[in-house]
A = this chain, B = another copy of it.
């Protein structure tokens, strides 16, 4: 769980509103505010172990939403296409511009 900070933070951005209020706060304190498990436990009036369990459950819940909706993966795919199109446009040639147009028209949202 702990090593995957960037991914979890991004999943939290996307699916956070589907968590319970306490789960979301717990995740935010851990992944965005970098609080320790003991500090989170204090904030939520639960034990350190309780905070750990809540993080794990919330984390599994976020991964569950991603496995069903796949929005993080889709976002990355779209981002990559837009970045490629921008690079092509910056190269300035006419054929590159045509390629960029093609890529942009091809993006499925």
Contact = CB atoms under 8 A, between A and B. Distances in A.
Please tell me how many copies of the chain the complex holds: 2
Nearest to A68: B17
A69 to B, nearest CB: 6
Contacts of A82: 82, 104, 107, 109
Interface residues of A, number: 23
Nearest to A78: B109
A7 interface: no
A14 interface: yes
A57 interface: no
A109 B75 contact: yes
Given A89-B101, A104-B82, A17 B109 contact: no
A14 to B, nearest CB: 7
A52 interface: no
